Amino acid sequence: MQSPKTSDVDTVYQRVWEAIVAHKLLPGTRLKEEELCETFGISRGFVRKVLLQLSHHKLVNLVPNSGAFVAEPSPAEAREIFQARRLIEAELVRELAGKCTEQDKRLLEQHVAREHEAFEGGQLSLRIRLSGEFHLLIGQLANKPVLTSFLHEIISRSSLIVALYQGTSPRKGKQRIYSPCSEHTGLLEAIAARDVQTAVDLMREHLNEIEAQLQLEPPKEEALDLKAIFSEL
């Protein structure tokens, strides 16, 4: 459509991914195969592959004979995702902080610089992507492909969760819209300084921060909601 012939399967995956985690495709949205076909100018077989990959990463629900829907992670799922993140990322930071080379440091700095740029530029989906990729970079530099591949999935789901549970309702204090740029900087410094304990603590704190900003109240009773609605009338 807009990009002529830039439509292999990975590109399409990437674009749909960005649309989902940037909340351009709302959770629950149905993704019709044919629609995606003409959008990206690819055949149904390819679309099917992309949807399969997305469902594998739990970003879409694939309901047999019914269709593909953007996932709607529950609060419980969200909490577990962050539990898993703390578990895995603390370990990865511990590894990397224990053996961070000059080269590693440089790569991290470069990445944070790019994040900063994107933050200034204000491009939401790019910021989200880079923010996730910073965490992935830690895993890669720690040289732990297995944990990193898990992290890849977790961070995708995490991005969707943040998009879902962050912007909806009003919050006390300033509305920090997912700008962990400065926290990344601090983390980077601790890692580069090989200060393992501080780095691990910062990572845990960083993840707690992100989770704390979410509205993860358990779904309330219908009755209460109805009352609230009537009282507002």
Partner DNA sequence: ACCGCATTTATTGTTGACGATAATACCCTG
Partner DNA sequence: CAGGGTATTATCGTCAACAATAAATGCGGT
Binding of residue 56 to DNA (CB under 7 A): no
Tell me the backbone φ, ψ of residue 62, rounded to 5 degrees: -105, 105
**Mask of contacts with a copy of itself, 36-75, x by CB under 8 A?**
----------------x---x-------------------
Torsion of the alpha carbons at 99, 105, 108 and 109, rounded to the nearest 10: 160
**Considering beta carbons, is residue 19 or 147 the nearer one to a copy of itself?**
147
The yes or no reply on residue 81 touching a copy of itself (CB under 8 A) is yes
- Residue 227 and residue 233: Cα distance in Å, rounded? 10
CA distance 85 to 143: 17
- Residue 52's binding partner, choosing from DNA, a copy of itself, none, with beta-carbon cut-off 5 to 8 A by kind? a copy of itself
Under 8 Å between Cβ of 39 and 49: no
Q: Up-side HSE of residue 217: CA atoms within 13 Å toward CB?
A: 5
Number of residues near a copy of itself (by CB under 8 A): 16
CA distance 13 to 7: 10
Q: At what angle do helices 44-56 and 33-40 cross, to 10 degrees?
A: 110
- The yes or no reply on residue 68 touching DNA (CB under 7 A) is yes
Which range of residues in 57-65, 84-92, 131-139, 187-195 is near DNA by CB under 7 A? Answer: 57-65
146 touches a copy of itself (CB under 8 A) = yes
Smallest gap from Cβ 54 to a copy of itself, in A, equals: 13
Nearer to a copy of itself, 88 or 118 (CB): 88
Q: Is 40 in the site for DNA (CB under 7 A)?
A: no
Q: Dihedral of the CA atoms 85, 138, 52, 2 (nearest 10)?
A: 120
88 binds a copy of itself (CB under 8 A): yes
Count CB atoms within 10 A of the CB of residue 114. 14
Look at residue 146 and give the partner it binds from DNA, a copy of itself, none, a contact being a CB closer than 5 to 8 Å depending on partner kind: a copy of itself
Report the interface residues with a copy of itself, using CB under 8 A.
52, 56, 77, 80-81, 83-84, 87-88, 91, 144-147, 150, 154
